[in-house]
Amino acid sequence: MNWSKEFEAFLKHCFSQTGFQSNAADQDWSVPWQSLFNASEAQSMITQVETNENYCTVFITVVEKELHGLSVLHSSSVVWIENQTSGEKKELRLPCLIKKGTARIRYKDEKLSIRWLKRVDPVLAQVNIVPESLTD
């Protein structure tokens, strides 16, 4: 596939993100994806996301003969799916961060499942409130 330099730069940017922080420059990076995954395109591909304590799993309904034409890209919090056979494209925003390099893939009953280990957001922290300490 022959991608533009801007698109390649966006991919590197996307895969190097470590959390949900965003800045004004992120708006500029969204343009290549908008042109690839236009909202007006067919969105009939059935997808589902499930999470538990340790994993985030994406389920994609696809017939076996179309598996070879399936393209899945992901960042730490978004998955982009393209069925090159049918031309369908889908963007899924995950409810958690996932670890790169931890994908496990299974296919059964026309359902492809891709499971990643969840990643703890290094920015996330817990605040414990002790009511007694709040009074003068």
Gap between the Cα atoms of 31 and 61, Å rounded: 28
User: Has this prediction a pTM greater than 0.75?
Assistant: no
Mean pLDDT of 57-77: 89
Gap between the Cα atoms of 83 and 102, Å rounded: 22
Q: How confident is the model at residue 117 (pLDDT cuts 50, 70, 90)?
A: very high
* Fold category of 5-120 in CATH: Immunoglobulin-like (2.60.40)
Mean pLDDT of 52-62: 90
Indicate the domain borders of the chain: 5-120
Average pLDDT over the chain, rounded to an integer? 74
Question: How many beta carbons lie within 10 A of that of residue 60, not counting itself?
Answer: 22
pLDDT in tens, 93-107: 998 889 988 899 999
Which range is least confidently modeled, 6-10, 44-48, 88-92, 117-121? 6-10
pLDDT at 89 > cutoff 60? yes
DSSP 8-class letter at 38: -
pLDDT in tens, 1-49: 455 666 666 656 555 544 444 444 444 444 444 444 444 333 457 889 9
Q: How confident is the model at residue 119 (pLDDT cuts 50, 70, 90)?
A: confident
pLDDT at 64 > cutoff 70? yes
The H or E element containing residue 106 is: strand 104-108
pLDDT over 70 percentage in the chain: 62
Amino acid at 2: N
Query: How far lies 54's CA from each of 16, 90, 96, 126, in Å?
Result: 22, 24, 10, 19
